[in-house]
Structure 1
Amino acid sequence: MTSEEPVNSTENTHTDHNGSVAQNFGLELWDQYEELVKYTDQGVEYIKKYAQFAKERIELENMFAKKMKEMMKKNMPKYTKQTGNELFTYQKAFSVAVHEVGDEANQHERIAESLTANVYKPLLQLQHDKEAEKRNIQNEGNTIRAKHDQNIQQLDRMKRRYEDSHRDAIQAKLNLEKIEYNPKVTKEAVEKSKLAVTTKDRTLSENKDQYQLFIDKFNKSQKDHYYKEMPLVFEKFFKMEQSRVARVKFLQEQLVEGLRHVFPIINTCYDNILDAGKQISSDKDLIQFMEQKKSGFPIPEDREFMEYGTTATPNLQLGISKTTKKRNLFGNAKKPAAPKLDDAEDFSHLPPNPQKKMINDKIEAIQREVGQNQASLNAIKHMLDIYEKNPALGNVRLTQEQYAEEKKNGDHMKLELYKYQVWHNQLEGTPVPQKPELLDANSRIVEPPAVTTYEDRLFVIQRHELQKQTTKAKPPRAAVPRPHPRGAGSRRSTADTDSDFSDDDDTPQDSAHYHTPAASSTVSLPASFHQGTYQQPEHYEASTESDKTASIEATHPIGRVRALYEFTSSSDGELSIIAGKEMLLLENDGSGWIYVDFNGKKGFVPLSYVETI
């Protein structure tokens, strides 16, 4: 209680001081009513001005926030995040800076909202209230002043009447004196003058009494006017202004508080931008770029010297000349564009290193799903145990079905995980992982197919794309010499064989490319060719006619093919085919020629003229 007493005493002193000021306000300014009205008008006008200021500040904050958001949207990084790639540190820092601009814009919107709710609208309400309050007080003061003015006017009239009657009485006496000493005036005229004097005196006395009575009444009314009635009006003006100023003070504090409240958040935005800038590292970016872009392909080995004029061996040249490597279908010198590979499940559309990384990412993602599935199984199993003990709590059959479905899903995830783990180990050259333990008795482990490398898939896809592009074009001659025909008694000469590998006008090139029906295009061979492990197939030659016949008859179909182009045989052992016809594939030894059966007729056709079905 002791600590509160000074506070109460101070408050009481402050209240008493305000009360005495309010009481003396009307006495000190008794003749400044018009100035007080003018002052209060200025106060209300100040509220209007402050409200307009707050409105413009709100509009400015909203406009600033809008412009900042437009800037953020325009500068928002639209990185095409490639498969397996992450943003560089400078890109991340810029993204943070742009996003923080958006967050800062949100804070300016909050400032506008705070000013609208806590400053602008209260100012409008204050303006409305003070205008109404001032109007009422001013009307009351005007009424009191009008009444006092009427009393003054009435007092002036009575005073003038008293003055007039006094002047008339004196004039009547002067007239009587003149008549009394004039012998020519009759007695009757003298009596009339005496009567006039008596009447004027009586009127003077009455007006004097009325004036005396009214002036006493007026003085009392004037005292009430200046000491009671008008001081109350002045006190109301005083309190009105007192509350107006206090309210404006509070609203100005609210304006600052609305700004202060968001400044720490804006500073946090700046701190985040600064922290992101500190994370920028050129070394990290360059290392990341290297990890993202390295393909994993081996650096090409040294090329062997090929003496000019010599015939290239089939396993190196494969029918590619300078002209065919430089010309396209229309004869223009243009480097053929690499075909676009569609996304593959084993990511074989990517080079070796990105392929391994994506498979690793896939394994991690599936492992997370397996963990979530196991948690779900545990939860369902727990609920199933509860329902079996107390069937009233839940449906046991539905829970069992849900549990079985989750087990199937879990087994499917485990099989997917096993597949990618197998592919990962195949690429890394490590042993095959342990097979997963399946929960569902109906689930079976199916060994995944061997992983496809980028080189192999590119070779197959490129050849297929080029074959489709040249379906309507006249096919060129086969680039690879066919093997010695089965069932024929003669072989192609060495000169014929050599002519199939080199044009007369072109120098043989040391190229790892395979010639396809699109004579102008080249296709990269698999890695086995670059590594020198590619084996040129041997030519088949039966020692005797009986051996040849027995070999042909013993051949069984290994597949089916469809002719892409028409081919006319030009030597023994070759088979003429018609585009679009299907044939049985009897043998494919990798020489560039295949042995087929077409309606009972057997023979060799170029591999590039057919497609597998």
Structure 2
Amino acid sequence: MDWGTELWDQFEVIERHTQWGLDLLDKYVKFVKERTEVEQSYAKQLRSLVKKYLPKRSTKDDPESKFSQQQSFMQVLQELNDFAGQRELVAENLTVQVCLELAKYSQDIKQERKMHFQEGRRAQQQLENGLKQLENSKRKFERDCREAEKAAQTAERLDQDINATKADVEKAKQQAHVRSHMAEESKNEYAAQLQRFNRDQAHFYFTEMPQIFDKLQDMDERRTARLGASYGLLSETELQVMPIIGKCLEGMKVAAAAVDPKNDSQVLIGLHKSGFTRPGDVEFEDFSQPMTRAPSDSSLGVPPDGRPDPRGPVRNRPKRWPFGKKNKLPPPPLSPLGGPPPSAYANGPPSPRFGRDPLALLSEISKSVKPRIASFRSLRSRGTVATEDFSHLPPEQRRKKLKQQLEERGRELQKEIDQREALKKMKDVYEKTPQMGDPASLEPRISETLGNIERLKLEVQKYEMWLAEAENRVLGNRGDSLGRHGRPPEPPTVAPPDTNNCASDKESPEAPPSDEGTDTSIYTEFEEDFEEEPAFPIGHCVAVYQFEGEKEVGKRAGSSRQACNLASLLGGGPWASSADQPRAFSLRLTLHAHWHGGSPGFGLLYLGLDSGLPFGTGDPERVLSRLHLFF
């Protein structure tokens, strides 16, 4: 069944139906366009949401990125971002495959429909014109017949009239004959026009219009099929991205399963473990035994009125808990290097100890510098300055940083070595086949590579030395912590006051004054603000020249490039003591010293020895010229 047969007389109905179909097509295109706008807006909002919760800094510099929960959250955000990308893909496919294609197809269908209806209307116009011609020929035939009949009646009446002349009768007969002939011609013309119209009408209703209706039917069916296929594109576009969306959702599930609480706890330990030992037990302070100091040759630590300090003798104060608040006191005034503190001259001339031998002089210098070091370390703790050896970090963090730097330098070194080997092979090829290149052109690059290799080797050695030192320090802290907390602390014992021995606790006026007691008493109140330094090595030295020690002046022998760990910067001797020789000594070598926690930004102190001192012989390559102390 087709429209040409069943709807041969429903031209207007077919016209309205096809117009409705085109309107529906345009409506669907508009719907899909708005749907794509919704998808694009949804994807845009998802991307904005992801961007809002992404970290502002790179994951390499963010310590939080090492936690599994943060990594899983970042993975969820990444999967959501990929999900947003799939929504954008859906919008793009709908725009291209539906909106653009259907809009173009709708224009083509409209043109085709317009052409078919123009043909139908033209056929109808031709049929109407034929019908008008038929009506005209019919009216003419009817009029001519009446005129012929009237002329015949007039001729017959004149023929019977006796008064009419013969000429009138002949004229009337001739007129009747003409009219009769005209009526016959009109009849023939009407018959021909009627036959032509019937033929045209049959062609119009049985051939021409059915063909036009069939074309319109085919056009409408094609439009309907295309519209149905476009309906299916909605689901097909969704199904195309469903596997990837499923992977995104699966990735979110994997990210959720990757959260590891135990691992996060270990990561927190690795990030913030300092490596310091726990604070020791607080010592018992016996206030029942009053102690007074005897006057000595130095007035350090004695009030201006000469009365003993009511706080008692200088006590060894335990290290404070690292989380506790400290009473901030102003640092002691810094006196010129080598000179006593300003309070030393408050009650008299300088102490006679400053007129002793150079060893004693250096000892005084070291003791006077000790409070300054504490002050600088306090400043460093308040405003840390990063150093190349990461000494500003806690031991454990320093060890990890050094290990990381060592691995990076190792990779760079291996890269330079591989590049050097490649350049050597290229040079050999150039030497064998000069047409390929000039071997001399590779020399600058080879030299540059060799220089980089030497530089990286020195850096590797430097970081290896620092790493070994840091590992020793961490191991020392662990050993000290185990030794300290391996057994429960013993309860303090309180001795009963003994009034008979009170005098024996006092210093004798004849006894020489104690350097440690007099020099540290003035800084007692300031040292409360500073933490005690650990007992493990504080730095290392590398000897530049070989030197044989002289026992009579307490010097130590050393060889060139010999490394020495320093256990103490100031205590026990004029310069420093080594980890394997606790007693005081001085090195008659030129040293390159690297101090833990060093920060050149806080000051650089030069302690020089003249060639006239008993330490040296005047040889510039044999004399200890400078020892660089970085605070």
The equivalent residue for 2:485 is none
**Change in 2 beyond 3 A, CA 1:85/1:389:** farther
Q: How far 1:150 moved relative to its partner?
A: 1.0
Q: TM-score, normalised by structure 2?
A: 0.61
**Change in 2 beyond 3 A, CA 1:232/1:61:** same
The equivalent residue for 1:509 is none
| Partner SS, residue 527 of structure 2 | strand
State the one-letter code of the partner of 1:305: F
Q: Does 1:263 align with 2:242?
A: yes
* Structure 2 unaligned spans of 5+: 291-310, 332-377, 474-510, 539-566, 575-587, 592-604, 611-628
The within-5 A match list for 1:458-537 is 500=522, 514=527, 522-528=529-535
Q: How far 1:247 moved relative to its partner?
A: 3.5
What is the alpha-carbon distance in structure 1 between the residues aligned to residue 61 and residue 533 of structure 2? 25
State the one-letter code of the partner of 1:380: L
| Partner SS, residue 530 of structure 2 | strand
State the one-letter code of the partner of 2:527: Y
**Change in 2 beyond 3 A, CA 1:136/1:365:** same
Q: Does 1:352 align with 2:395?
A: yes
The equivalent residue for 1:245 is 224
**Change in 2 beyond 3 A, CA 1:85/1:384:** farther
Contact 2:123 2:209 (8 Å CA) reproduced: yes
Worse-superposed segment, 347-356 or 45-54: 45-54
Q: Does 1:67 align with 2:63?
A: no
The equivalent residue for 2:316 is 316
Q: Does 1:152 align with 2:159?
A: no
State the one-letter code of the partner of 1:156: E
What is the alpha-carbon distance in structure 2 between the residues aligned to residue 28 and residue 129 of structure 1? 27
Worse-superposed segment, 209-218 or 226-235: 226-235
- Deviation track 1:185-241 (CA, whole Å, cap 9, x = no partner) reads 965799998777666654543332222111111111112222332233223323333
What is the alpha-carbon distance in structure 1 between the residues aligned to residue 26 and residue 36 of structure 2? 15
- Deviation track 1:161-188 (CA, whole Å, cap 9, x = no partner) reads 44455566667788999x79999x9657
Q: How far 1:286 moved relative to its partner?
A: 1.5
The equivalent residue for 2:6 is 28
The equivalent residue for 2:404 is 361
* 2:26 alignment partner, one of 48, 55, 59: 48
* 1:391 alignment partner, one of 401, 416, 434: 434
Q: Does 1:223 align with 2:202?
A: yes
Instruction: Give the count of matched residue pairs.
Output: 448
**Change in 2 beyond 3 A, CA 1:586/1:226:** same
- Deviation track 1:93-113 (CA, whole Å, cap 9, x = no partner) reads 111111222212222222222
Q: How far 1:270 moved relative to its partner?
A: 1.2
What is the alpha-carbon distance in structure 1 between the residues aligned to residue 187 and residue 515 of structure 2? 165
Q: Does 1:340 align with 2:383?
A: yes
What is the alpha-carbon distance in structure 2 between the residues aligned to residue 186 and residue 363 of structure 1? 154
What is the alpha-carbon distance in structure 2 between the residues aligned to residue 340 and residue 144 of structure 1? 99
Q: How far 1:70 moved relative to its partner?
A: 1.0
Worse-superposed segment, 187-196 or 86-95: 187-196
Q: TM-score, normalised by structure 1?
A: 0.62
What is the alpha-carbon distance in structure 2 between the residues aligned to residue 193 and residue 234 of structure 1? 58
The equivalent residue for 2:82 is 103
What is the alpha-carbon distance in structure 1 between the residues aligned to residue 570 and residue 380 of structure 2? 28
What is the alpha-carbon distance in structure 2 between the residues aligned to residue 414 and residue 537 of structure 1? 35
| Partner SS, residue 289 of structure 1 | helix
Q: How far 1:329 moved relative to its partner?
A: 6.0
State the one-letter code of the partner of 2:120: G
Contact 1:81 1:87 (8 Å CA) reproduced: no
**Change in 2 beyond 3 A, CA 1:502/1:215:** closer
Contact 2:79 2:248 (8 Å CA) reproduced: yes
The equivalent residue for 1:38 is 16
What is the alpha-carbon distance in structure 2 between the residues aligned to residue 269 and residue 81 of structure 1? 25
Q: How far 1:315 moved relative to its partner?
A: 6.0
State the one-letter code of the partner of 1:402: R
- Deviation track 1:369-398 (CA, whole Å, cap 9, x = no partner) reads 222223222322222221111111122112
The equivalent residue for 2:623 is none
The equivalent residue for 1:287 is 266
Contact 1:83 1:358 (8 Å CA) reproduced: no
Q: Does 1:404 align with 2:383?
A: no
* 2:255 alignment partner, one of 249, 254, 276: 276
What is the alpha-carbon distance in structure 2 between the residues aligned to residue 308 and residue 82 of structure 1? 53
What is the alpha-carbon distance in structure 2 between the residues aligned to residue 68 and residue 222 of structure 1? 67
What is the alpha-carbon distance in structure 1 between the residues aligned to residue 42 and residue 523 of structure 2? 73
State the one-letter code of the partner of 2:258: Q
Contact 1:312 1:502 (8 Å CA) reproduced: no
What is the alpha-carbon distance in structure 2 between the residues aligned to residue 292 and residue 493 of structure 1? 43
What is the alpha-carbon distance in structure 1 between the residues aligned to residue 214 and residue 138 of structure 2? 34
**Change in 2 beyond 3 A, CA 1:343/1:398:** same
Worse-superposed segment, 390-399 or 42-51: 42-51
- Deviation track 1:229-262 (CA, whole Å, cap 9, x = no partner) reads 2233223323333433343344444444333222
Q: How far 1:412 moved relative to its partner?
A: 1.8
Contact 2:64 2:70 (8 Å CA) reproduced: no
Q: How far 1:87 moved relative to its partner?
A: 2.3
Contact 2:4 2:211 (8 Å CA) reproduced: yes
The equivalent residue for 2:327 is 326
| Partner SS, residue 297 of structure 1 | coil
**Change in 2 beyond 3 A, CA 1:200/1:514:** same
The equivalent residue for 1:76 is 54
The equivalent residue for 1:382 is 425
**Change in 2 beyond 3 A, CA 1:494/1:145:** closer
What is the alpha-carbon distance in structure 1 between the residues aligned to residue 516 and residue 408 of structure 2? 59
What is the alpha-carbon distance in structure 2 between the residues aligned to residue 83 and residue 327 of structure 1? 33
State the one-letter code of the partner of 1:71: L
- Deviation track 1:513-556 (CA, whole Å, cap 9, x = no partner) reads 726xxxxxx2223113999x98996999xxxxxxxxxxxxxxx9
What is the alpha-carbon distance in structure 1 between the residues aligned to residue 96 and residue 461 of structure 2? 61
Q: Considering only aligned residues, what root-mean-square deviation do their CA atoms show, in Å? A: 4.5
What is the alpha-carbon distance in structure 2 between the residues aligned to residue 425 and residue 399 of structure 1? 38
| Partner SS, residue 274 of structure 1 | helix
The equivalent residue for 2:467 is 424
**Change in 2 beyond 3 A, CA 1:70/1:536:** closer
Contact 2:314 2:517 (8 Å CA) reproduced: no
**Change in 2 beyond 3 A, CA 1:85/1:368:** farther
What is the alpha-carbon distance in structure 2 between the residues aligned to residue 291 and residue 366 of structure 1? 22
What is the alpha-carbon distance in structure 2 between the residues aligned to residue 336 and residue 612 of structure 1? 13
**Change in 2 beyond 3 A, CA 1:498/1:216:** closer
The equivalent residue for 2:579 is none
The equivalent residue for 1:599 is none
Q: How far 1:354 moved relative to its partner?
A: 0.9
**Change in 2 beyond 3 A, CA 1:529/1:226:** closer
Q: How far 1:151 moved relative to its partner?
A: 0.9
| Partner SS, residue 382 of structure 2 | coil
State the one-letter code of the partner of 1:383: M
Q: How far 1:299 moved relative to its partner?
A: 0.8
Q: How far 1:502 moved relative to its partner?
A: 6.8
**Change in 2 beyond 3 A, CA 1:362/1:583:** closer
What is the alpha-carbon distance in structure 1 between the residues aligned to residue 38 and residue 435 of structure 2? 64
What is the alpha-carbon distance in structure 2 between the residues aligned to residue 143 and residue 51 of structure 1? 32
The within-5 A match list for 1:209-220 is 209-220=188-199
What is the alpha-carbon distance in structure 2 between the residues aligned to residue 83 and residue 218 of structure 1? 94
Contact 1:85 1:292 (8 Å CA) reproduced: no
Contact 1:68 1:102 (8 Å CA) reproduced: yes
**Change in 2 beyond 3 A, CA 1:152/1:537:** closer
